[in-house]
Amino acid sequence: METKRENIIIIGGGPTGLSAAVYNARAFLEPLVIAGSPPGGQLTLTSDVENYPGFESILGPELVEKYRKHAEKFGARFVNENVASVDFSDQNNLKVKLNNGVEYSARSILIATGASAQWLGLESETRLRGRGVSACATCDGFFFKDKVVAVVGGGDTAMEEALTLTKFASKVYLIHRKDSFRASQIMQKRVLAHEKIVVLWDTEVIEVLGEDKVSGLKLKFNSDKSKDKVKGDELEVQGFFLAIGHKPSTDFLQGHVDLDKKGYVMTYARLAEDFLRGNVELSNEKREYLKGGLDKHYSYSTSVLGVFAA
């Protein structure tokens, strides 16, 4: 199959990728945006967006569509497919292959794939996303004013989500499958002292209840530590928030560009900092690249010339 040549390829169809598409399109670079399938990133999982300037309230998918039309107006083109593999061995001919077998090449590639929330993997959880199931208290907390909600997780993210939700909800259940948190002590102290937060220790969520919207959770107690806080094994809530971490969408980049231990792309700023501190070992070629860029402040550059990340 013939490789299609592009000026610049933007991988990612969320707000970052779409913003980059607008800027590149206005510079007459005719960017190709590999937007993913389905396109739009995490924003498409958000119901009402009320914290974006210029819109008092707008649906997440609607905002993505407006972004996209804006970029298309100036000449950006979109492909709703996922990346299967990349080949960055030739820096003048950076290649991207899609799941449908189509291959593109360019001299510049911007990685804007972001990260996705980790989920429990329940069918009911997937079915009710955007209908009471969320992974962003800041985005969706307002819609649960004076309602009962639950958060699952045990790290700092879970603590922050629970505390954020206390500003809106009448009660917040914090569900953790272990008998102690891994969060920082100061965050634990705030959560455990809050009158609106009820912690359910040694407890797992095995099903999200509800047909068209969340009505409750089915629980599994691994000990008797919190059984007395719930009647039976079902907890009545109107909202369920996941806070068990995020996973960067960079699996296809493994071995092609430097990633950190969590899988996030190492940009010039982070590479230079770690290199100067002696935290990473780099080839002579990459060392020269970093040294050559110290005065240029290409903060979005990666370990591969022509490949950028935002």
Whether 105 is covered by a domain: the verdict is: yes
How far, in Å, CA of 305 to CA of 211, rounded?
Answer: 50
Q: 225 and 141: one domain?
A: yes
| Domain-embedded: residue 289 | no
Same domain, yes or no: 236 and 129: yes
Residue 201 counted as domain residue: yes
110 contacts 20 by C-beta, under 8 angstroms: yes
Last residue within a domain, chosen from 209, 242, 275 = 242
pLDDT number for residue 300: 86
Q: Are 131 and 86 within one domain?
A: no
Tally the domains of the chain: 2
- Whether residues 50 and 138 fall in one domain: no
Catalytic residue annotation: 136, 139-140
What is the biggest distance separating any 2 CA atoms in the chain, rounded to whole angstroms? 65
In a domain, 287, yes or no: no
Q: Is the pLDDT of residue 163 over 60?
A: yes
CB 266 within 8 A of CB 158: no
Q: Specify the CATH number for the domain of residue 205.
A: 3.50.50.60
Contacts of 185 (CB under 8 A, 6+ apart): none
Q: Model pTM greater than 0.85?
A: no
**Is position 279 within any domain?**
no
pLDDT in tens, 9-49: 999 999 999 999 999 999 999 999 999 977 887 777 666 78
Task: Check residue 40 and give its pLDDT.
Answer: 80
Query: Are residue 108 and residue 255 in the same domain, yes or no?
Result: yes
Confidence of residue 295 (pLDDT cuts 50, 70, 90): very low
Give a yes or no: residue 184 inside a domain: yes
Averaged pLDDT score across all residues of the chain: 90
More confident residue, 297 or 62: 62
Domain C-terminal end among 242, 275, 297: 242
- Rounded Cα–Cα distance for residues 101 and 17 (Å): 22
Regarding whether 50 and 86 lie in a shared domain, the answer is yes
Residue 41 lies in a domain: yes
The whole domain housing 11 covers 3-116+248-265
Strands 148-152 and 171-175: parallel
The model's pLDDT over 238-283, given as tens digits with 9 standing for 90+, comes to 999 999 988 999 999 999 998 988 899 988 766 666 655 555 555 5
Question: Are 135 and 230 part of one and the same domain?
Answer: yes
pLDDT of residue 291 exceeding 70, the answer is no
Q: Do 44 and 187 lie in a common domain?
A: no
Give the residue with greater pLDDT, 70 vs 138.
70
Residues 128 and 222 in one domain: yes
Q: Is residue 151 part of a domain?
A: yes
